[in-house]
Each structure stands twice: as C-alpha cells, then as structure tokens.
C-alpha cells in the first residue's frame, strides 16, 4: 500500500536582496503618477513579488474598494471624477483607480500569491451593482495584445426579439424566428451566417441573440478576427473558452461572434488568407469544434454568390440568413407613411434616418444608424 507524504519544498535559504528602484519626478507629473510609482515600488524591488489585478464596472457609489484593516496612504482626486488611492497593510499594497464612468481597476501586490488574491477578493466583494435583467446581458470580448490573448466580460444593452422583430424584412422573418427560438438540443450546424448590405441591423440581431440564448449559450465577440485564424495559440485560447471566477459552473455552449469577416469567407479566401479559412471550418465542424460546444456567428456585407462554397455547403450552417432591404410596402408600414419611401426598398438605417428627418443621410447612413449595423 502506498502512502502519500507531504513534503516541504519551501526554500530555507535567505531571500535575495531587494532590487533597487529609483524614481525621477518633474513638474509634468501628477499626484496620481506618484501613487503609481509608490504602488509599483514594492513589486519592483521584490519586497512584494506577487501581483493580481481586477477590473470592475458599475461600481456602487458606497463601495469602499478596500479590505478590512487597510491603511489609507495616499489619495489623488481630480475634478473629472478620476481618483487614485494607495492602501497598505501587513505584507501587501493596493492601488485603486476609480473612473467617472463607474469603472475601477485594482492592483494588489503582496508577499505571497495567496495574500494578493485575498486582498483583491476582499476589496471587490459586493462592489458591483447587478446589471438589470430587463435590458442587459453579459457578453465576453476577446483581443490579442503584446502580452497574449485577453478576455473581458461586460454587460451590454439588448432588446428582446419580440421588441425588435418588426425592424427586419418579412423575407427573413421566419428564419430569424427559428434562430431566436433555437435551444441546445436543436443545434444542427455550427455556423450562423448573417449577410446583407450595411445598415440592415445585423449587429443588433447578434446582441438580441445573446439575450434569447442566455440560458444555454455564452456569447463572446472577437474584436480582431483577422488575427484569430492566423495565430493557432490565440485560436486555441478562444476555442477552449473561459472558466474563470464568476462564470457558471455548468458547461454551456459558446457562440463566437466575428463581424465583417468578408476576406475570410470569400470565394478566393484560401488564396488571400492562407490557413484562415481552413481553421474556421475546423472550428465549426472539425476536430477542434467537436472538442468543445462552439458555434461561430459571422456577419458579412458580401453577396452569397461571392462566398466560398465550403462555407455555405449544406449541413454546415445552423442558420444562413440574408438580412436585406425592406420592400416598399413594408417600409411604408414601418414608417407610418408612404412619402419618402424609395421604390427600390430601404434599409433599416435609411428608415431610421427618414423617420428622424435626416433624408439627406440616407445615401450614407453610417451617422444615423446608431446600433443598427
């Protein structure tokens, strides 16, 4: 019978001497810069070699953002609501930056990893207000920096499909109804393809989809899809997903949103993007996708005939929907009048512009479309 013994691997030699740190200040530096330098000092010298950072949104006005027993060392306040605080305790230092938009960034340094985590956990406990269930859903955002892949979860404003359904042409209504009503048990393909001209509301559809699928699917938006499929390491991080603090314990499907990926799915994509198209297809129904319950939603302004046949082949798409222009009669019904409606039909952005008295902007709808992209 084997016996498991606990072995102490803690080094008993003296700790290395601290690394010296020198700071130069001039009249261009602010009190907040001084706090930044003071917060970095124990980490830079090695006195507190562990660090942990947390970013919060929707901070409660009365949230102290400090662990019990901490001593306030410095405060730098600015007229625009920006504030920096330095708080210290036995073996730890905490820098707190509060912004006027109710967000905050907290960075703790400490003599041990466990202590750094404990300081952050105590300082952030119950500090955020819950997003209203009525019009918000939590969405993840991925991007790659010089330090590797990052994910940030934010509450975004959404509307229900019942509220916005009238903003889409009748030609797409039935398929959009079916897409919004999809459940995990009804997933038959891994790709959701929304195509059509600019200003037809494709982005808003994806936000609403995040709300309608919230009970079974986590929606993540990739901010730099052009990098995703050219970097296998980045792709693996995004495909595997995120199971960090605050996420549900139960495994869920994930929907990766890739907006305006025209170059990736055009007919000539393999020549222009190299392995990008192959990796996308592998994510949707290859080994990579089967290893994780992942769906991919792509929006494009390209005509369906210009897309690569491998992308639109039968069985690959859960939904392939053209989000197009309103027919003149439906546009007149949406607007409540027929004057100003183009005989060739109108996009949703053009209808909003016309309704709001910006007829001249119809040819270039970007300034008037708001969130309807």
Which tens digits make up the pLDDT trace of 180-234? Answer: 999 999 998 888 989 889 999 999 999 999 999 999 999 999 998 888 888 888 8
pLDDT at 212: 95
Using the predicted structure, report yes or no on whether residue 250 has a pLDDT greater than 70.
no
Using the predicted structure, report yes or no on whether residue 358 has a pLDDT greater than 90.
no
Go through 47-76 and write b for each residue having 16 or more CB atoms within 10 A of its CB, e for each that does not. Answer: bbbbbbebebbbbeeebebbbeebeeebeb
84 compared with 230, residue with greater pLDDT? 84
pLDDT at 121: 96
pLDDT at 134: 57
Query: Mean pLDDT of all residues in the chain?
Result: 81
Between strands 148-157 and 136-145, the pairing is antiparallel
Domains identified in the chain and CATH numbers = 31-124 (3.30.310), 136-322 (3.40.50.300), 328-368 (no CATH)
SS (H, E, C) the chain: CCCCCCCCCCCCCCCCCCCCCCCCCCCCCCHHHHHHHHHHHHHHHCCCCEEEEEEECCECCCCCCCCCCCEEEEEEECCCCCEEEEEEECCEEEEEEECCCCCEEEEEEECCHHHHHHHHHHHHCCCECCCCCCCEEEEEEEEEECCEEEEEEEEEECCCHHHHHHHCCHHHHHHHHHHHCCCHHHCCCCEEEEECCCCCCHHHHHHHHHHHCCCCEEEEEECCHHHHCCCHHHHHHHHHCCCCCCCCCCCCEEEEEECCCHHHHECCHHHHHCCHHHHHHHHHHCHHHHCCCEEEEEEECCCHHHECHHHHCCCCEEEEEECCCECHHHHHHHHCCCCCCCCCCECHHHHHHHHCCCHHHHHCCHHHCCCCC
Q: pLDDT tier at 129 (50, 70, 90 boundaries)?
A: confident
Q: pLDDT tier at 9 (50, 70, 90 boundaries)?
A: very low
Whether the pTM exceeds 0.75: the reply is no
Percent of the chain residues past pLDDT 70, beyond the cut: 76
Distance CA 84, CA 78 (A): 9
∠ Cα 300 268 231 (to 5°): 75
Say how many C-beta atoms besides its own lie within 10 A of residue 325's C-beta.
Answer: 22
For the record, the structure tokens of 317 come out as: 């798409």
What is the residue whose two structure tokens read 């261009």? Answer: 28
Using the predicted structure, report yes or no on whether residue 7 has a pLDDT greater than 60.
no
Q: pLDDT tier at 360 (50, 70, 90 boundaries)?
A: very low
Distance CA 202, CA 168 (A): 10
């Amino acid at each position: 019978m084997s016996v498991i013994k606990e072995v102490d691997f803690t080094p008993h030699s003296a700790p290395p001497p601290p690394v010296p740190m020198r700071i130069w200040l001039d009249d261009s530096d602010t009190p907040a810069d001084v706090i930044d330098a003071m917060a970095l000092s124990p980490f830079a010298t090695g006195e507190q070699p562990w660090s942990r950072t947390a970013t919060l949104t929707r901070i409660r006005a009365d949230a102290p953002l400090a662990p019990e027993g901490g001593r306030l060392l410095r405060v730098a306040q600015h007229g625009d609501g920006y504030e920096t605080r330095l708080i210290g305790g036995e073996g730890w230092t905490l820098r707190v930056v509060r912004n006027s938009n109710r967000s905050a960034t907290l960075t703790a340094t400490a003599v041990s990893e466990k202590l750094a985590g404990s300081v952050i956990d105590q300082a952030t406990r119950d500090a955020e207000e819950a997003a209203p269930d009525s019009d918000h859903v939590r969405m993840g955002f991925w991007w790659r920096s010089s330090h590797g892949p990052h994910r940030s979860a934010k509450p975004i404003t959404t509307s229900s499909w019942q509220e916005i359904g009238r903003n889409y042409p009748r030609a797409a209504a039935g398929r959009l109804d079916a897409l919004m009503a999809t459940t995990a048990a009804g997933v038959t393909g891994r790709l959701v393809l929304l195509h059509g001209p600019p200003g037809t509301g494709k982005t808003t559809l994806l936000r609403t989809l995040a709300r309608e699928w919230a009970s079974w699917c986590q929606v993540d938006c990739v901010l730099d899809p052009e990098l995703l499929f050219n970097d296998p390491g980045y792709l693996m991080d995004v495909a595997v997903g995120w199971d960090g603090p605050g996420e549900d314990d139960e495994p869920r499907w994930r929907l990766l949103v890739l907006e305006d990926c025209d170059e990736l799915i055009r007919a000539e994509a393999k020549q222009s993007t190299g392995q990008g198209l192959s990796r996308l297809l592998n994510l949707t129904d290859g080994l990579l996708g089967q290893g994780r319950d992942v769906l991919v939603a792509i929006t494009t302004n390209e005509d369906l005939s210009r897309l690569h046949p491998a992308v639109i082949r039968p069985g690959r798409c859960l939904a392939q929907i053209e989000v197009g222009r309103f027919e003149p009669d439906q546009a007149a019904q949406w607007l409540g009048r027929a004057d100003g409606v183009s005989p060739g039909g109108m996009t949703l952005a053009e209808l909003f512009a016309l309704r709001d008295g910006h007829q001249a902007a119809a040819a270039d709808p970007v300034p008037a479309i708001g969130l309807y992209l």
